[in-house]
Amino acid sequence: MDPEPPEDPEEFQKRLDALAPLIVDGAPYAVSLGFKIIEMTQRRAVMTTPYSEDLIGDPETGTLHGGVITALLDHCCGMAAFGGLGARHTPATLDLRIDYMRPAKPGCDITAEAHCLKSHGLVAFVRATAHDGDPEDPVAIAQAAFMISGASKAAHKRAMDAIRGGGE
């Protein structure tokens, strides 16, 4: 079992700053929706996605599809869990619950802010909100649990082996 992040906060933040963008830019789905990291600390992640006519879910009103918010909240929660779990393995979503408080305003970018409430061993609990300008008036709130799965550990090992050995 991985220990809690031991270290030296400076070293930890450095690793987070190096790895976090890879988990966004390396995910084709996140790239295709235009996700960007705004801020990333050990237990907190802030991400944004730009409004785009491509992502409309209700042609009558021009509001974004709920699925865009779902994806942003999932990814942002995952980033907070990644930090909370020590910033080594990318965790997988166990469950994600979202309340859609109101439709997002057409034309507005969406920002998600996630906090890792608790992490121990392989599991992390995260809470997040998504808003379209005013954090006090969220469009959606979410609660999620994440886990470092066998699949993600195996993938991490393959990637590290490939980097070290250039692949055998």
Partner 1 sequence: MSQVLLETLLATPFVSRIGVQLEQKGTELTGVLPFTDTLVGNPLIPALHGGAVGAFLEVVASASLLVSQPMARLPRPIDVAIDYLRPARAQDVYARAIVARSGRRVANVRVEAWQGRTEAPVATLHGHFLITPEGADSAS
Could you report how far apart the first and last alpha carbons of the chain are, in Å? Answer: 28
Judged by beta carbon, residue 9 or residue 21, the one nearer partner 1 is 21
- Residue 113 host element (H or E): strand 110-120
Provide, rounded to whole angstroms, the least separation between the CB of residue 60 and partner 1: 8
Judged by beta carbon, residue 43 or residue 66, the one nearer partner 1 is 66
Question: Exposed/middle/buried for 29, CB within 10 Å: 0-12, 13-18, 19+?
Answer: exposed
Q: 12, 19, 70, 127: which one contacts partner 1 (CB under 8 A)?
A: 70
Name residue 118's amino acid: K
Does position 106 interact with partner 1 (CB under 8 A)? The reply is no
Structure tokens at 40: 């990333």
Q: Near partner 1 by CB under 8 A, which window of 79-87, 95-103, 115-123, 131-139? A: 95-103
Q: Near partner 1 by CB under 8 A, which window of 11-19, 60-68, 112-120, 123-131? A: 60-68
Does position 93 interact with partner 1 (CB under 8 A)? The reply is yes
What's the CA gap between 80 and 23, in Å, rounded? Answer: 12
Structure tokens at 7: 């270290």
Q: 20, 37, 64, 114: which one contacts partner 1 (CB under 8 A)?
A: 64
Torsion angle of the four alpha carbons 149, 150, 155, 156, in this order, in degrees rounded to the nearest 10 = 70
What are the residues binding partner 1 (CB under 8 A)? 26-33, 53-59, 64-68, 70-75, 78, 90, 92-100, 103, 149, 151-152, 155-156, 158-159
